Amino acid sequence: MNKEIFWELIGDSFKEANWDSEKEIEILINKLSKYNKEEILKFAKIYQIYSNESYKSKLWAAAYILNGGCSDDCFDYFRGWLISRGEEPFLNALLDPDSIVDLDLDGSDYYENEDMLSVPVHAYSKSLGSDDLLIDKFYEDFNNHNLDEIEEKEIIDSINFAEDVDMEWNEDDENELRKILPRLYEKFW
């Protein structure tokens, strides 16, 4: 498992699901469960890096606009949704959160995918032949498994951010939201 295979699995699952998030998760779990547990744990570590690296204020503002508000948990689920769209939309959003408006969004849904967070646990359990979620075993193995420093650095170095991605913003100031993410604001607020 490496970042290329990670994104290939996500991209293929997204395309095969034809925009159906639930189906995408099911397809991704099935694809990932064919790998051995070490590869599934690497997938989970790669996901964690992308999720952690995308914990950025301006991206949170985008989630706030898209979802009409955004709590801590909502922002986790939003980042899961954004990762589930694939490599190009995800990386573009980190470079320019306003670019999310260029995705095929109909405005009728919340832009969250909580289930993305549990894909590795489901795939891990399935790969071991269990119908039950092996949550404790997964996290025990997950916590004892690390990517090597070179792999982790390669993933982090492949991400480019908007210069002002960590900017402060006020959720109560609509003019500020309009100013920092004008296209998203225009379409979704």
Alpha helices for the chain (secondary structure H): 3-17, 21-32, 37-53, 57-67, 72-84, 87-95, 119-127, 135-143, 149-157, 174-180, 182-188
d(CA 1, CA 8): 11
For the segment 8-26, the average pLDDT, to the nearest whole number, is 95
The residues, any chain, with a CB within 8 Å of residue 66's CB and separated by 6 or more, are: 78, 100, 105, 111, 184, 188
Question: What one-character DSSP code corresponds to residue 127?
Answer: H
pLDDT digits (tens, 9 = 90+) for 102-161: 998 876 678 999 999 999 999 999 999 999 999 999 999 999 999 999 999 999 999 999
Give the count of beta carbons closer than 10 Å to the beta carbon of residue 63: 25
pLDDT recorded at residue 5: 99
- What does R_g of the chain's alpha carbons equal in angstroms? 17
Q: Tell the residue number behind the tokens 């954004």, with chain if given.
A: 82
Question: What one-character DSSP code corresponds to residue 38?
Answer: H
Could you tell me the pLDDT band of residue 96, with boundaries at 50, 70 and 90?
A: very high
Could you tell me the pLDDT band of residue 10, with boundaries at 50, 70 and 90?
A: very high
* pTM for the predicted model, two decimal places: 0.96
**DSSP-assigned states of every residue in 138-168:** HHHHHHT----HHHHHHHHHT----TTTT--
pLDDT recorded at residue 110: 82
Residue 60 has pLDDT above 70, yes or no: yes
Could you tell me the pLDDT band of residue 19, with boundaries at 50, 70 and 90?
A: confident
For the segment 2-13, the average pLDDT, to the nearest whole number, is 98
For the segment 64-88, the average pLDDT, to the nearest whole number, is 97
d(CA 6, CA 47): 8
* Mean of the per-residue pLDDT values of the chain: 96
Taking the mean position of all CA atoms in its chain, how far away is CA 102? Answer: 17
